Structure 1
Amino acid sequence: MKWLLPRSLPAWVLLIVIAGLLAIQVSTLSIVSRERTTSNNMLDLLRLNDRALSLTKLMYAEKPEDRTRIAAGLSVPPHVLTTTDSSAITSSIPVDDEMAELEDIIVGRLSKYGVEEARVRREKAKADAGQHTFQPEPDMGNVERELVDLSSDFTTTDTFIVSIEFKDGQWLNFTLKATPLSPLLNIDSLPLYGSVAGLVVLLSIWALRRLTAPYRALERAVRRIGDDLKSPPLPEHGSSEYTSAARAVNTMQARLREYVEDRELLAAALAHDLRTPLTRIRLRLELLRKSPLRAALMQNLADIEAISSSVLDFATYEARGEAPERIDFWSLVDSIADANPNVTFDGARKHARGLICMGETIALRRCITNLVENAVKYGGKARLSLSHDESRVLLAIDDDGPGIPEAQLETMFRPFTRIEGSRNRQTGGFGLGLTIARNIARRFGGEVTLRNRPGGGLRAELAMPMASGAQARAAE
């Protein structure tokens, strides 16, 4: 069941708001319903008391036969009025304290009119009472329709039965229908409740988006820092919580940048300083023209110089900054492919033209060249194909080499990582080409991925975001 629960803070807040809204609505409706029931009950008792007073004042001075005649004239169903020699309510014991108190009140008010006893009972509505409802006509007006509906509702409510005894022994019996309770939610009010609830939810969503927008920007910035430490710092304005978090992230980014720059400068300085003693050693080796150790030492020296050059390139590749510009990606790939006889560019050239991305030409050329050279070194030949989707340019570089174990595909992007055997110092580099290629791609919002081809070999894929305005032209 945990997968049903939201996973983000805005979703949790929205869920709490909706749950609170529902709880408040249900509680309010319950309280209102209870108060309406109590109020209606008191109103019915007041109506019953007033009706008993008015009927008693009208009939107490009349003769028994005149009371019967008047009662017959005033009796209109469902409010029945009769006079009898015995009470319509057989039991003289009240059913509850409320009815007993009401009987005492009636007797107290009507004692001056010769009333000696009063009995009140409440009968529940019969189950089949709803069968005698009125059906409004289609051409009725609003007032008439409301009156008909209200009259129909009266037929389904409880009935009060009251018996009043005059001093001459005659009983006056009448009935009074309880006031019907209209539903709190009906066809007319439900759209209003739904509209208000929907408005509250929409306003809550809008407020939450406004509230969490800085934190989404913070998340994107932190992710961007992971790809490029030289990305612009976060703006430090907004709520106090966001300002504190942004300031902490900016401080972290500055310290990380200083840390990485220090290591880069250290590696660059070491690699650079090694060139002087290496040059001296090479000059001295030249003096050993016929020594059997000369060839072995020259090979070791070449390895050391290659390692030093690779470390220097890796440490300083970001220091050679250029201004980002719009680059014709197809032309760049085509020029790299033409420079290497072991590379074929079999992309759909016609529809691949006009694919523009933003970046630095030298850095992006270096990124693609590293990927192509890896394919040539380890697969003999490289096949390049160019495509695009809605927002990215996709360059696929295939080779026919032995591939890489699936568990080590991501590991190959770490510095100085190589696979023993086919990918060693004799057949390849020093494990920095893929690292530099991915770092360059990520600096411009792209990505480099590796995967084994189903038919054998390896595919390196470079994805670069298209420049603004290039998506529409690419779609055309």
Structure 2
Amino acid sequence: MKRFLPQSLPSWILLILIAGLITTQIATLSIVSRDRNEGNNILELFRLSERAYTLVKLLYAAPPPERTRLAGAMTNASSPLYMADEPAVTSAIASDDNLAELEDVLVARFSAFGVTDARVRRESPNVTRETDTDSSAPGADVGIVEKQLSALAQDFSKSGGLVASIEFSDGQWLNFVTPVSPIDPILTVQTLPLFGAVAAIVIILSIWAMRRLTAPYRALENAVKRIGEDVKIPPLPEFGSTEYRSAARAVNAMQAQLREYVADREQLAAALAHDLRTPLTRIRLRLELLRKSQLRQSLMQDLNDIEAISRSVIDFATYEVVDEEQEKIDFWSLVDSIVDNYPQVTFEKKGIGSRKLICTGRPIALRRCVTNLIDNAVAYGERADVSLNLAGNDIVLVIKDHGPGIPQAKLDEVFQPFRRVEGSRNRQTGGFGLGLTIARNIARRSGGDIKLENDPEGGLRAELTIPLAS
């Protein structure tokens, strides 16, 4: 069920807005329809009362034969009217409270005209009465008003009516029918497109407003991602809604703290480079004064290890803070120039031309990234095969070595600083566990990534992905 629900806040807000709009429309149409029915019912009762008043006032003073003649002269097919000795409404009990109250009103109002009883009932809409209009369809030369009058007459003949029977004091009954005005449905073929157009406009405007409202937050998300790639990007502009300004201030404060942290690490690395260089040089000079012995050789080896460790730590601490401008790079040529320095590496040069493999990045950093990957493959796999290809909008560099590989559960561990996988790599031939860490950080700062996996044919497969230049 959850997979069919929105996964983002703007989608949820839009869904709630559309659901509220639909609910409001349905409720509004229901209320309007009910009010129309109630209003039309009262109006029809009023029309019947007024017509009854006119007829009773006209007929009450006339003798019975004259009443019959007058009623026959005033009747028509849509509104029958006649005098009789029996009422057309046979039941003395009204079908609802409104009609019962109307009957009491009619008797009280017409008592001065000799009226002693009044009965009213509703005629079913299924009862079809004849009309005075021609039942044939209007001709092509008929005007709009005549067409509308003809259609309205047909509607009146099918809409039912109110049947009234009013008794005079002499025992005669005035029977007549008042047609009920037809009520057109709210949703028709003509009105449905209008409602749909209004709803579509509201939804489109809501989507536009939602995108405008959430645009700063998308910019905030992109800015946070860029901070992970380059902590020196300009701070976020603090404008817009109160919530966005608060979030932007928090992100800018975090970025400032990260800058201070990076600056402190850069200063620490520079201090280490300066302070270690002098004592190491003195130790090396003093060792040169010693006679050649096994102890001297061991100390020289230890000294070389200390210098290598210090260089690795300094490199790891300073690789991010090197101030290098972004530029377009021919990645094929970059890889080709690096592979030329490794006789044990084979570069697959067939297929994609170098002109298609242009990326944007820091040249020195990317060179270091590729070099670290090839160094890792050569150090632990002795030989390596390198190939380049395109995958959508990404350049993919594949480096496959011929070593023992890495256990599947530990593939991610080798990217952690100073982490070496025992048993799968020879500790005596490798560095200090920083090469892959630096390589992946450089790749991610360039918008790409590095993925390791064991090749089914043996060896480790490293895949570097770098976006093409736009």
Q: Return the TM-score normalized by structure 2.
A: 0.91
What amino acid sits opposite 1:209 in the alignment? Answer: R
1:406 matched residue in structure 2: 408
2:318 matched residue in structure 1: 316
- 1:455 partnered with 2:457: yes
- Listed one character per residue, the Cα deviations across residues 213-262 of structure 1 (whole Å, up to 9, x for unaligned) are 11111111112212322232212222232222112111111112212331
2:431 matched residue in structure 1: 429
1:113 matched residue in structure 2: 113
1:387 matched residue in structure 2: 389
Q: Distance in 1 between matches of 2:81 and 2:139?
A: 34
2:376 matched residue in structure 1: 374
2:3 matched residue in structure 1: 3
1:295 matched residue in structure 2: 297
Give the drift of 1:106: 2.0
Q: Distance in 2 between matches of 1:291 and 1:383?
A: 42
Deviates more, 1:317-326 or 1:80-89: 317-326
* Runs of 4+ with deviation above 6 angstroms: none
What amino acid sits opposite 1:38 in the alignment? Answer: E
Give the drift of 1:288: 4.0
Q: Distance in 2 between matches of 1:387 and 1:375?
A: 19
Give the drift of 1:85: 0.8
Q: Distance in 2 between matches of 1:138 and 1:408?
A: 89
Give the drift of 1:302: 2.0
Query: 2:262 touches 2:321 (CA, 8 Å); kept in 1?
Result: no
| Mapping for residues 233-244 of structure 1, pairs under 5 Å | 233-244=235-246
Deviates more, 1:282-291 or 1:449-458: 282-291
Secondary structure at the counterpart of residue 353 of structure 2: helix
Deviates more, 1:87-96 or 1:244-253: 87-96
Query: 1:358 touches 1:467 (CA, 8 Å); kept in 2?
Result: yes
1:44/1:343 Cα in 2 relative to 1: closer, same or farther (>3 Å)? same
1:30 matched residue in structure 2: 30
Deviates more, 1:454-463 or 1:167-176: 454-463
1:339 matched residue in structure 2: 341
Q: Distance in 2 between matches of 1:445 and 1:138?
A: 75
Q: Distance in 2 between matches of 1:283 and 1:231?
A: 45
Secondary structure at the counterpart of residue 353 of structure 1: helix
| Mapping for residues 33-48 of structure 1, pairs under 5 Å | 33-48=33-48
1:55 matched residue in structure 2: 55
2:102 matched residue in structure 1: 102
Secondary structure at the counterpart of residue 155 of structure 2: helix
Give the drift of 1:187: 1.1
Deviates more, 1:147-156 or 1:243-252: 147-156
Secondary structure at the counterpart of residue 164 of structure 1: strand
| Mapping for residues 435-450 of structure 1, pairs under 5 Å | 435-450=437-452
Deviates more, 1:48-57 or 1:12-21: 48-57
- 1:182 partnered with 2:212: no
Query: 2:228 touches 2:445 (CA, 8 Å); kept in 1?
Result: no
What amino acid sits opposite 2:171 in the alignment? Answer: G
Query: 1:352 touches 1:386 (CA, 8 Å); kept in 2?
Result: no
- Calculate the aligned-residue CA RMSD, in Å: 2.5
1:280/1:201 Cα in 2 relative to 1: closer, same or farther (>3 Å)? same
What amino acid sits opposite 1:379 in the alignment? Answer: G
What amino acid sits opposite 2:177 in the alignment? Answer: T
- Listed one character per residue, the Cα deviations across residues 113-141 of structure 1 (whole Å, up to 9, x for unaligned) are 33232211224434x869x9x89669476
Query: Which of residues 210, 217, 220 is equivalent to 1:218?
Result: 220
> Percent identity between the aligned chains?
61
Deviates more, 1:205-214 or 1:325-334: 325-334
Query: Which of residues 361, 364, 386 is equivalent to 2:363?
Result: 361
1:393/1:142 Cα in 2 relative to 1: closer, same or farther (>3 Å)? farther
Deviates more, 1:140-149 or 1:451-460: 140-149
1:471 matched residue in structure 2: none
Q: Distance in 1 between matches of 2:322 and 2:224?
A: 24
Give the drift of 1:185: 0.8
2:17 matched residue in structure 1: 17
Give the drift of 1:208: 0.9
1:235/1:138 Cα in 2 relative to 1: closer, same or farther (>3 Å)? farther
1:472 matched residue in structure 2: none
1:260 matched residue in structure 2: 262
Q: Distance in 2 between matches of 1:401 and 1:246?
A: 48
Structure 1 residue runs without a partner (length 5+): 469-476
What amino acid sits opposite 1:248 in the alignment? Answer: A
